[in-house]
């Protein structure tokens, strides 16, 4: 179950959580992220985008990151200010760079020709202003940034 | 519940729950594809409760639509919320799927 790495302070600008490498962690994670971002005045479209991107990134980690199928921890941190939402996901799975895996997605295909794959990372690229990856020793670190409209206050 | 199924005047109606993600997309596929395969007429997918869907869920809907089309039948989506419509637009799915406003529209012949 998602839990804070520290006690929530009253006016925290950073949400930091550790979750297990299981996709049933996604719904509780989304609840925590929605509450946090909502309390910062972030709108529903931006909240949906952040949750979707977290979902797609974490689903990939769970699906491809651990050949041993063992229990692992994934660290998620979300910060927001008046300019942007920044999401950092860290895992200790095998090297996986989501910025590199870029299968072409043809949004103009007809139904018969439309292929099933590639949508997750496509959404990540569409929804985020920037996506950066680095490998730090045994850790994958993905940093995703979504710029906010000027009217949102942090 | 990921989805429920009922038959209305010979039309199969599948109604989703509030969320489809990689945790329940498998179960959703089991329900939807079986309904599409067993249907004699069109299948209606009622999205009125759906507040969140990820690529895993979209993949299931695409698969069901392709399956229906190959069998010469329709899959019709209705009651799509605006945030969900945005996802269908960004992905290009809105262009290739049949989407109507209400269940009545979907059931009308």
DSSP state of A21: S
**Pick among B55, B62, B96 to test the A interface (most A CBs inside 10 A):** B55
**C-beta of residue B18 within 8 angstroms of C-beta of residue B83:** no
Q: How far apart are CA A146 and CA B58, in angstroms?
A: 23
Could you tell me the fold of the domain covering B3-107? Transcription Regulator spoIIAA (3.30.750)
C-alpha distance from residue B23 to each of A26, A87, B54, B61 (Å): 8, 22, 10, 16
pLDDT tens digit sequence for A25-37: 999 999 999 999 9
Please count the other Cβ atoms lying within 10 Å of the Cβ belonging to residue A91: 25
Q: For residue B70, with 0-12 CB atoms within 10 Å meaning exposed, 13-18 middle and 19 or more buried, which class applies?
A: exposed
Which residues of chain A neighbour B23 with C-beta distances below 8 Å? 23-24, 26-27
Provide mean pLDDT across the span A30-52: 97
Cβ neighbours of residue A4 closer than 8 Å, sequence gap 6 or more: A16, A17
Q: From B59, B63, B56, B48, select the one nearest B20 (Cα to Cα).
A: B56
Numbered residues of chain A with Cβ closer than 8 Å to any chain B Cβ: 23-24, 26-27, 30, 44-45, 48, 51-52, 55-56, 59, 62-63, 105-112, 114, 116, 119-120, 122-123, 126-127
pLDDT tens digit sequence for A80-96: 998 999 999 999 999 99
pTM score of the predicted model: 0.91
- The answer to whether the Cβ–Cβ distance between B21 and A26 falls below 8 Å is yes
Q: How far apart are CA A4 and CA A33, in angstroms?
A: 12
Within chain B, strands assigned E span 3-8, 11-16, 19-20, 43-46, 52-53, 75-78, 98-100
Which of A59, A63, A108 is the closest to B92 by Cβ?
A108
Q: Length of chain B in residues, anyone? A: 109
- pLDDT of residue A153 exceeding 80, the answer is no
Domain map (residue ranges) of chain B = 3-107
Indicate the CATH number for domain A3-147. Answer: 3.30.565.10
Average pLDDT, chain B: 96
Q: How confident is the model at residue A105 (pLDDT cuts 50, 70, 90)?
A: confident
Domain map (residue ranges) of chain A = 3-147
Q: How far apart are CA B66 and CA B73, in angstroms?
A: 10
Provide the ipTM: 0.94
**C-beta of residue B15 within 8 angstroms of C-beta of residue B32:** no
- pLDDT of residue B10 exceeding 80, the answer is yes
């Amino acid at each position: 179950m998602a839990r804070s790495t520290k006690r929530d302070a009253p006016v925290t600008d950073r949400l930091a959580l550790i979750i297990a490498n299981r996709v049933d962690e996604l719904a509780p994670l989304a609840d925590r992220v929605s509450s946090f971002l909502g309390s910062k005045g972030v709108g529903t479209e931006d909240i949906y985008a952040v949750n979707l991107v977290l979902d797609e990134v974490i689903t990939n980690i769970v699906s491809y990151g651990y050949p041993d199928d063992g229990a692992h921890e994934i660290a998620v941190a979300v910060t927001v200010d008046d300019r942007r939402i920044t999401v950092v996901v860290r895992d200790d799975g095998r090297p996986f760079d989501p910025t590199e895996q870029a299968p072409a997605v043809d949004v103009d295909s007809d139904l018969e020709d439309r292929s099933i794959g590639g949508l997750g990372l496509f959404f990540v690229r569409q929804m985020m202003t920037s996506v950066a990856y680095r490998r730090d020793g045994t850790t994958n670190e993905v940093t995703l940034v979504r710029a906010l409209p000027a009217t949102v206050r942090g | 519940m990921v989805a429920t199924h009922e038959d209305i005047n010979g039309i199969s109606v599948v109604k989703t729950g509030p969320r489809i993600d990689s945790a329940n997309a498998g179960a959703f596929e089991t329900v939807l594809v079986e309904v599409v395969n067993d249907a004699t007429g069109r299948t209606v997918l009622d999205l009125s409760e759906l507040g969140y869907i990820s690529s895993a869920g979209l993949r299931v809907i695409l698969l069901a639509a392709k399956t229906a089309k190959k069998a010469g039948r329709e899959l019709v989506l209705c009651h799509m919320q605006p945030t969900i419509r945005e996802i269908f637009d960004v992905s290009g799915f809105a262009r290739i799927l049949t989407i109507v406003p209400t269940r009545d529209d979907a059931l009308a012949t």
